[in-house]
Amino acid sequence: MAESRRALVLYGGVSPEREVSLVSGRECAAALKRLGWEVALYDWRGDGDDFRARAAGARFVFNALHGGDGENGDLARRFEDVLFTHSPPGASALAMDKVQTREFAVSIGLSVPPGEIATCAEVRSGFEPFARPFVVKPIAGGSSIGVCIVGGGGDVSAMECGDDDDLLVEVFIPGRELTVSVLDGRALAVTELRSRTAFYDYEAKYSSGVTEHLVPAPVPEGVYRAAMEAAERMHEVLGCRGVSRSDFRWDEGGVVDGVVLYLLEVNTQPGMTPTSLVPEQALFCGMDFDALVARIVDSALSANSSNSDTMKAPLKKSNDADTSGAPVSLSSPSSSVTAPVKECDGDNKGGRVSLSSLSLSDNSLVKKSDMDNKRARCSSSSSLSVNSPVKKSNGDALSAPFSVGVAS
């Protein structure tokens, strides 16, 4: 009996990220149709019985939800007999919780901004544990919704939260925004995000012409490789599957105690819109949108055959000292990836880099040879010809699959 070629794309939802999810879902559904699947779209509104009936007979459910129970693992845990793409419930729950993500990061020797937990009422009443500017954000949430920079134009009184809701308050890390996509355990590329807004907020993520994406990020090679390594290790330690994206801040001018790279968060349901970062980095590695969607599906189907969904415990710290705010060493990860990302597999730079070994005074940008080596991690058959950092404005009229060009 032939296996089903039916696929259900779950999108929309009731979270604040609904509008983004609608776009992601439509793009992924179109790709699946081009790949030969019989596709139906399902706008999640909370009716479990209806969803189960619609999912019956589908080979898999492509999860294109962002935020809420579609991203925190609740849906996949509730419907454990349904095969969902992306990360398993345990990994999704951990990544969605920024406090737990921080704990896992520190447990493997990565640095995070100093932070504290406070209630919404405390923050609104003037609780300021750090010098301004500092960041206030929901513990669970995505697309930078609800993030406020106190002392940087943000208004905590406008935050939508209940008095007893816990919030994460962090030191604001100045510098440059970097992001790394990981597919099947291997990092694709590093993108620098240059936003015209105060920070890389919801408007910057999804409005055309607001943010410039530079692929590969024009940063020192040591920082580039350190970001790639850190993203791979977070993908592994959280137990992610398929695709994830890790966001960082690189403070090139205000180094404190040797730390130059800070993990901000990990996203297990990254956007798949025309302005999204994962499709852009995949294309940089020679993988068009359809191929990316196919890889995400293959990851789910392969995992289903082995039926593995392991909640990992935090790994032992790299040393006995508290690594929050201290120099960290990024050793080679212990992951054994059964299906490595061949497109981004080559590294001609001679091994991994310790952040503590970086020359902190070296703010030179990546040379052309360095960029060539970065692209060597991607497929040599890529149709891109990049001789300088790719500068793509969100204003480009992109559709999936899309192409990235060098802007003037």
Active-site residues, by number, are: 17, 143, 206, 245, 247, 265, 267, 271
Least Cα distance to 281 among 178, 396, 408, 201 occurs for 178
- In order of 89, 110, 162, 173, 335, the CA distances from 42 in angstroms are 20, 39, 31, 40, 35
The Cα–Cα gap between 285 and 250 comes to 23
Rounded Cα–Cα distance for residues 70 and 328 (Å): 34
3-class SS of residue 194: strand
- Separation between Cα atoms, residue 275 and residue 68, nearest integer Å: 21
Contact present, 113 and 262 (Cβ < 8 Å): yes
Q: Which residue from 364, 406, 379, 408 is spatially nearest to 214, judged by alpha carbons?
A: 406
Triad 157, 160, 165: Cα angle to 5°: 100
Do the bridges between strand 176-183 and strand 211-215 make them parallel or antiparallel, or are there none, so unpaired? unpaired
Both tokens of residue 75?
A: 């849906």
Annotate 122-142 with b (16+ C-beta within 10 A) or e (fewer): bbbeebeebeebbbbbbebbb
Classified as helix, coil or strand, 289 is helix
* Integer Cα distance of 258 and 202 in angstroms: 31
Please give the biggest Cα pair distance in the chain.
Answer: 65
Give the ranges where 239-314 is alpha helix by DSSP (H). 277-284, 289-306
- Amino acid, single-letter form, for residue 238: L
Residue 320: C-alpha distances to residues 13, 105, 107 (Å): 44, 15, 10
- What lies within 8 Å, CB to CB, of 126 at 6+ separation is none
Based on C-alpha coordinates, what's the Rg of the chain?
20
> Which amino acid, residue 201?
D
